[in-house]
Amino acid sequence: GENVEQHPSTLSVQEGDSAVIKCTYSDSASNYFPWYKQELGKRPQLIIDIRSNVGEKKDQRIAVTLNKTAKHFSLHITETQPEDSAVYFCAASLNNQGGKLIFGQGTELSVKP
Amino acid sequence: GAVVSQHPSRVICKSGTSVKIECRSLDFQATTMFWYRQFPKQSLMLMATSNEGSKATYEQGVEKDKFLINHASLTLSTLTVTSAHPEDSSFYICSANSLSTEAFFGQGTRLTVV
């Protein structure tokens, strides 16, 4: 089955700097890659997603890139703010599985003022 | 977006008892729902796929007789943790999809077994 690896496990940046989180997946059939932000004790919140027919997607300060050949995808956050501090998870899914998500291990992002 | 509601948000139970967690899709029908478990400072691990009108599909290593899943209607799936033990203490969270690929998560249930 699918396996998703995520790095780094913790990331500390200064406010205003960029943050990059990387994930690799094992199943070449996976075609949907969402990123979630989770605050302590809360449900994951979708922040951006990308499908396998697209190489890059951007939404304001957040962007995701996908390299299907290498089977890896990355989250880029620019101009980080203290409120970006949270745990971020990548995930992979097969569309025809209707939403079954395999998550990466998570990255605890700390943005220092 | 679509709304998924999970209840209860917190529950404390005694070791050996059973606990039922409900997951409802409020504004859409979900033939499939998913149950995840998250231990502190860890990722969400898929436990099982809940299929409306048929048996759930469990991930490897998840005991189907311990984690009973029922999906009797298009808007409700339940997870019952039977004979709970302290090691079952965790954050349980469900998800469902509407017509889009995006998964909508319930609020999660913090289970503490004492």
| pLDDT given at position B79 | 98
CA distance to A33, B43, B78, per residue, from A36 (Å): 10, 11, 24
Tens of pLDDT, residue by residue over A76-111, are: 999 999 999 999 999 999 866 667 899 999 999 999
CA–CA separation, B68 vs B19, rounded Å? 10
CA–CA separation, B111 vs B114, rounded Å? 10
| pLDDT given at position A97 | 60
Residue B101 reports pLDDT greater than 80: no
For residue B10, give the chain A residue with the closest CA. A41
CA distance to A44, B104, B109, per residue, from B112 (Å): 20, 24, 10
Interchain proximity B93–A43, CB inside 8 Å: yes
Q: Worst-scoring range by mean pLDDT, A85-89, B53-57, B82-86?
A: B53-57
Nearest to B43 among A34, A43, A103 (CB): A103
CA–CA separation, B20 vs B67, rounded Å? 10
For residue B35, give the chain A residue with the closest CA. A100
Regarding beta strands A19-25 and B45-51, do their DSSP bridges make them parallel or antiparallel, or are they unpaired?
Answer: unpaired
Enumerate the residues of chain B whose CB falls inside 8 A of the CB of residue A32.
Answer: 101
Cis peptide before A8 (omega within 30 of 0): yes
Interchain proximity B103–A101, CB inside 8 Å: yes
